[in-house]
Amino acid sequence: MPRLFQESRSAHILGVVADSGLLTRLAHAADIDFLLVLSAGVYRQHGVIANAAYLPFFNSNDLTEKLFTDQILPRCGDLPILAGIVGHDPTCPIADRLQRWQNLGVAGVVNYPSVTYLDGTLRQIFEDQGATVASELDTLRMARAQNLLAVGYVGPDLAAAEAFARADLDALILTVGLTRDLPDVRLRQDRLQQAITQLHQLHAAVRKHNRTVPCLVFGGPITRAEELEQVFRQVPFDGFVGGSVFGRLPIESSVTATLRRFKAVSFHRDDEQAGFGPLIGATPVMTELFRLIERAAGFDVNVCIEGESGTGKELVATQIHRLSRRADGPLVTLNCGAIPDTLLEAELFGHEKGAFTGADRRRLGKFELANHGTLFLDEIGDLSPRGQVALLRALQQREIVRVGADAAIPIDNRILAASNIPLRRLVEQGKFRADLHYRLNTITLVVPPLRDRLDDIPLLVKPTLARIQAQMQRPHLDLNPAFHDKLRRHAWPGNVRELQHVLFQAALLEDGPFLEARQFEPQAPRLAAGAEGIDRRDRARQAIAQAHGNKSEAAKALGVARKTLYAWLRGE
C-alpha cells in the first residue's frame, strides 16, 4: 500500500485539487505531497461552481477518470494521485473501476461527491437513492481491500465525522464549505474564526474515536498562508488540501510561489520540538513560563500577557486557550491598537443594520463571536479612555448591547489581554484605568525578551530555517559557526520576529549551503538612561510575585544569581 500518510514528517502534508495540466505541473514544481482529482474540477474549468458535481449532468466517475487520464497523469511526475469516486456507478462495477484506476497509476480514492457536504432536502434525495454515509464507507473499504489508499472526505457533519473516524481509513479530509476570498478584511477574519470553530468541532469528533488518523483541512475561507497558520495554531491538523485557492491564480509564478508559502507554514507538533505547543524554548525563564501557562490555563480566569514586541505573546494566548476548558470554543483576536476609536464599540459589541453610515447589514462583535470561548485583546495598552470604559462595563455586567440595538445580550468569555508595556506602569502614569487593570490581570504572565534567553536561539533557528528551505527551495541550507556567534552577540530589540527577519534576509542575499550573514552586524543594547534598570526591576518584581515571595525561586526562574536579583530590584 502507498505510504503517503504513514511516513513521519517534519512538516504538514499539502495536497492540491488539480483541475488542469498546468496546475499539475506547477504543483509538482512546488514539491507538494499529493494531487486530488475530483469531478468538480471539470466544472470549474468551464466556470461553473464546484457544487455542480452533485447534479446529474454526467457520470461523475467518468468525468474524474477522463480528467486524470487526459491532463493529470501525463504531468504529475511521481506525485501520488487520489481520485474522487462515487459508489453508485451505472456504467461500471465499482470493483472493476477501482482496478482500472489502480492499473493507470492512481494511488487511492476519496468519497467525492459526498453526501456529508449536503443537508436538508437535497441530502434526503441523495439518501433515498442509496447515496448514504454507509455506502460511501463501503466503497472506501473496497478500495482498501484492493490495496488502494482510502481517504474519507467529510463535510460539516459531526455524526458523519465520527462514523468516518471509526472506519479505520488512511486519512480524513475535513471541510467547512466552499473557498471564498472575501474583499472585506474584517468579514474575512470573522468567517475564518467561525470556520475554525467548526473545524475544531469536527476534529474533536474524529479524535473522540480515532487518535491517530491524519486529518487534513479543506476549503472554507482559507485563502492565504497566514490564515492557514492561524488554523494550525488553534486546531492540530496534519495538513491542508487546497482547490480553487491555487487554481484560480492566473500567473504561473504566483501559483508556484503561493504553493510554496502554504508548504512553508510553521507547523510544530508538541513532541517534535523543545518547547510547549507553539512556544519554543528550553531555558529556565521559558520553562518557568510554560509552568505558569499550564497552571493558569486550568482556571477560568482572565490573564494579562506582557512582553516586548516580537516575543510571542499571541502564541502564549493560543497555548492558554488550547489547554483551557474552553478549548472546544472559539479563540477570537482583536488588535486594540488597529481599530479607530469611533469603530471600537462596533468591533467589540457588533452593530445592527443601519446603526451608522455604512452599516449595511447586522454584524456580530468580537464578544459574540468569542462567546463560550476566549477573547484575546492584543495591545490592550493602546485602548482609548472611551474604549476602556466600554470594555470595563462589559466585563462587569457580563453582557453587551450591539450598536443600534436596545436588548442586552449575555456573554460568557474568558479574556486574555496582551501589552508590550507593563499595565501597572500605565496605571501609574494615568494612561490606563486601575479598575480595568484589576479585572484583566487575575494573573500576569511575562514573556521574556530574546536577549534574556540566548541559549534558545538554536532552537528558534531550526523551524525558521525549515520554513526558508521549503519556501526558497534550498533543502540543504544551514548556518555557519560565525553566524551563530553573531546571533548570540546581538541585542535583539525586535526579539524572535527580528531573528526570523535576519535569517530570511541572509537567505535572500546569499548563495551556498551555509549562510554567513555578511550584511548583519550585531548591535549592543541602546536604552535610555535608567530604562534598563526600570525594565529589570519590573521583571524582578514580577518574578518574585509569581514565586509567591520566594526570591531564590524568582532568581532561578530569571536565570540569574540571587545577588543579581537584588541588584535588579535596586535598579542597577
**CATH number of the structural domain 13-266:** 3.20.20.70
Cα–Cα distance, 209 to 167 (Å, whole number): 10
Q: Which amino acid is at 567?
A: A
Q: Which residues on adjacent β-strands are paired with residue 171?
A: 151
pLDDT computed for residue 250 by the predictor: 54
Where on the phi/psi map is residue 481: left (φ > 0), alpha (ψ -120 to 50), or beta? alpha
pLDDT band at 366 (very low <50, low <70, confident <90, very high): very high
Higher pLDDT, 127 or 202: 202
pLDDT computed for residue 268 by the predictor: 53
pLDDT band at 533 (very low <50, low <70, confident <90, very high): very low
What pTM, to 2 d.p., does this model score? 0.70
- Mean predicted lDDT score pLDDT of the chain: 86
pLDDT band at 530 (very low <50, low <70, confident <90, very high): very low
Positions of CATH 3.40.50.300 in the chain: 272-446
pLDDT computed for residue 525 by the predictor: 61
For residue 436, give Cα distances in angstroms to 249, 336, 426, 520: 47, 15, 12, 43
What is the dihedral angle through the alpha carbons of 267, 272, 278, 281, rounded to the nearest 10 degrees?
Answer: -130
Residue 132 phi, psi dihedral angles, 5° rounding: -125, 170
- Cβ neighbour number for residue 521 with a 10 Å cutoff: 9
Q: Are the C-beta atoms of 420 and 271 separated by less than 8 Å? A: no
pLDDT tens for each residue of 4-44: 776 544 568 999 998 888 888 888 888 889 999 998 888 77
pLDDT computed for residue 31 by the predictor: 81
pLDDT of residue 296 exceeding 50: yes
Positions of CATH 3.20.20.70 in the chain: 13-266
Mean pLDDT of all residues in 458-466: 91
Query: Rounded to the nearest 10 degrees, what angle do helices 481-489 and 495-509 cross at?
Result: 150
Positions of CATH 1.10.8.60 in the chain: 450-515
Q: Which CATH architecture has domain 450-515?
A: Orthogonal Bundle (1.10)
Higher pLDDT, 54 or 382: 382
pLDDT band at 570 (very low <50, low <70, confident <90, very high): confident
pLDDT computed for residue 274 by the predictor: 66
pLDDT computed for residue 8 by the predictor: 44
Lowest-confidence range among 132-136, 153-157, 470-474, 485-489? 470-474
Class of domain 272-446: alpha beta
pLDDT computed for residue 522 by the predictor: 87
